[in-house]
Structure 1
């Protein structure tokens, strides 16, 4: 059976989602209530990359630093696309950047990076004081509820 936090009309209701604290999981739920399970939800970005290294998982090149044309907005390097591009006060430039999360480019920012191997990514993350979300989630810069709004609109 597939569990969902969407109502009968497909709308996501964030109030019905329980916290994703896997080690504190409470298996009780009310009739008609749905449960979404993410067993790795308490893993950090560093945990994920260390697992990738330990298990010798090959990744596509997109996860590593490349020269890309980007523009700066709200402290993040964004890539232009059909969703928009630099405003008159912003200029595009080619920089060596890496995406700390690979998602929709309309809401994902890049960071300056030379990390082109798993080992280099791990070293970079271990030294960073910025979280992946704090550094690269454009939605988080727009409003506190931007991601929830996307979910409600059917983005996920």
Structure 2
């Protein structure tokens, strides 16, 4: 019984904290431009469906590779007036050059963290990006998450860095 009560307390505290978590700036045009100087300019805030809006950059190729180079893209999601989440997605198509791809993701994530939260990327998140491990941390008034998904083909993976 004590374990159930403890679990409920932890769950409710996470739910309460998540409800108050947010980006430092939520104006879509500002958030969509965060990584423009990093080569990840977006195509502007657009309605995707119903009340789901967002912007995205084209894929930025990192090096070369066969059949595809590793690549990085930037996404922002929200509603018609508010950006609620940013996301960097690294696709590792060429595992032989994964280390420089992780470094490029790390640079973009550090820049995004400062702009989206007002704070530097914590060491736990930097380490997770370098090693491709899953983790979550609170940064300023936002939550950041690193998620690695291995592809079913076994020929690559993606790493997402979310800030919400």
Would you say same fold, with TM above 0.5?
no
Structure number with higher helix proportion: 2
Structure with the higher fraction of residues in strand conformation: 2
Taking structure 1 as the reference length, what is the TM-score of the superposition? 0.29
